[in-house]
Every structure is written in C-alpha cells, then in structure tokens.
Amino acid sequence: MFVHTVFFWLRHPESQDDHQALRAGLETLKSITDISTAYVGTPAETRRPVIDHSYDFSLTLVFADKAAHDVYQEHPIHLAFVANCAHLWERVQIYDAVG
C-alpha cells in the first residue's frame, strides 16, 4: 500500500470562489482508476497543540503500490489539475507513506 497525503494552503483563503475551484479540481482526481481510495477534506474542529489546522484542504490518496502512484503522477487528469489549479495555492506539503 502507498498513501499519498497532500495539504494545500490557498493563496486567497478568504475567497469562496477559490475554495470552490480547488475543491472541484481535487474532485476530478477521484476519476483516476489507479487510485484505490480518495478523500478530500478540510481541517476538523479539533484543537490541540499537536494538531496543525492551518491548511485549507487535504487530499489523501491510497494506491496499491508505488507503481500505481507513479502512474498517477503522470496521468493527464493529474497534470491538468496542477495546470488549472496551481494558481490557487501558495503552499503545498506532501507526505508519502508505505504500509
């Protein structure tokens, strides 16, 4: 199993249009068949010192293996998402894990 978790900080977090545009872009990624499980979320209302809730969106993708992840990275839908939405964020942080 290969888990790819991405956190996005919007360039203009006050803009509802930007929120909607990024969410719509993230939702397009779910159609990539190499993804086993996909989840798009926003920060939960949990507040403890160890929790970072400063991001605007999170994306968690589960793949069967690294090979499936590598296919996703070059998939036309993923490349279109980056091309169409990169202007919306000011920061992206990625954590990959294997299990």
pLDDT grade for 5, boundaries at 50, 70 and 90: very high
The predicted pLDDT at position 4 comes to 98
Residue range 7-35: mean pLDDT, rounded: 98
The predicted pLDDT at position 41 comes to 97
Beta bridge partners of 96: 4
Sequence-distant (6+) residues with CB within 8 A of 60 are: 3, 4, 5, 6, 37, 38, 39, 41
The predicted pLDDT at position 68 comes to 98
pLDDT tens sequence across 66-95: 999 999 999 999 999 999 999 999 999 999
**Domains of the chain, first to last:** 6-44+55-98 (3.30.70.100)
Q: In what order do the strands lie in the sheet with 2-10?
A: 35-41, 57-63, 2-10, 89-98
